[in-house]
Structure 1
Amino acid sequence: MLNDQRTTTIIKEILYWKQHKLLPEMYCDFLLALYTNGEASTFEDEEKISNQRMGTWTMKKGLQFFLLVLLVPFSFLVIYFTQFQLVLQLSILLLFFGFSGWMLNNYKHVRDSSFHIALVVMLILFLIISDFFVKQLDLGSAVSAIIVLFHFIFWFWISRKLRLNYLMISSFIGLFIAVGYLIL
């Protein structure tokens, strides 16, 4: 007789096959009856409950990332299309930056798409906030281009440290544009 852990693993696999129609349903039902001694319905109920929990988590994560991606256009909206006071604009931008940093911190060990989206949004928001400061201090377009240049150097450093090719390519493109702006 198989031990309980192996039996549970086999039952989960059969349920997966049944759910994704990898085997005909009658074969799956036969195998479930064989491995569960005729009590397959209890395992199917547990699988449905597990899928519902996963769906709720996915919905939460999806909402977080929908909000995260909206931070970039909202930051442009706050800066260019509102007439808020400077302190309120800065507070909103820092709140957006804090949320993206929190998301990055939550997913730093996962290294899936959630980590990458949070990283990119945080870097873009940092660039926007820096440019906002330079424009508010009225330091000129050359200083703004130098700040942008340093941002892209920072992006390159992060891409080397974390081995992220897409960020390295983005940093090269940004460096090229910033250097071209400074030269012309």
Structure 2
Amino acid sequence: MDQEKRRIILKEIDHWRRSRLLPEQYCDFLENLYKEDPAEGSSSRSGFSLNTLIQQGSLKFWSLSFGIISFFFFIVFYFNVFPWGLQIAVTLFLSAGCYALAAYHRRNKPLFSMSITGLGSLLLLGFGSWIIAIQGWPPGIATTLLIAFCGFAWLVLGYALRFGIISYCGFACGMLLYAFLLGQTNPSASWGMLQIFWLPLAAIFFWLSWLGYHRIKALAPVFFAVSVSLWFMPEADAFLLRDVEMPAMPALLLLKIGMAFLLLFGLRKKWVVWITS
């Protein structure tokens, strides 16, 4: 078999492995059949190698890298003098570029794709916060809008790229906005009232985890993680956002941890299937 056909077959086997269309041991068996040297490691699994790019990179690669880095530092140094419209456009352009690059390498370089997605998210949030500080916009309204926009973008991107951690960050933005809303409408809420505000949402997302397992499997682990986070949000809301001083807080937190342990242990045969399928 010629080298080109062998390369195409090995690439297809690697696609089956990443997509979980075949079990891992079957992919290993097929891969070994079409390798010239069965002892060699799978080059398709090596993914992104910075060391190889640096050592074997061409003049075009080095020039492009230098140009991108120089352009980024130029933006950082002169960002303050840009008008606010250009600042927003630059922020969206840089973030969209990172997300487009992540989508392009999603299948063949998943680790690099995840890293560049995280970089794009940091740029979106960081530059957005910088714009608010530079322009002197009202921090309350502007920060709320920024968090809402980031949350929506991360939810869409997390689902599109099948990165659960990005989707979770989107839901985390939603939890933060909900906490801000509760702080505005119920600034003096007691610890018991906070349980009423948060725990039903934890139950809803736990149910959504079950529903996601039957409908949208990629979101089932995300819903489960959000449910667990919401379980402890009353304490986080009281301690971090409201500065409520409760001497019994450590005991109450240990009690909730114990209750979560008992619930998760009793339902382990169900939720483990939801998050691992």
Normalising by the residue count of structure 2, what TM-score does the alignment of the two structures yield?
0.35
The structure whose RCO (Cα within 8 Å, separation 6+) is larger is: 1
From the CA coordinates, give the structure whose radius of gyration is larger.
1
Normalising by the residue count of structure 1, what TM-score does the alignment of the two structures yield?
0.48
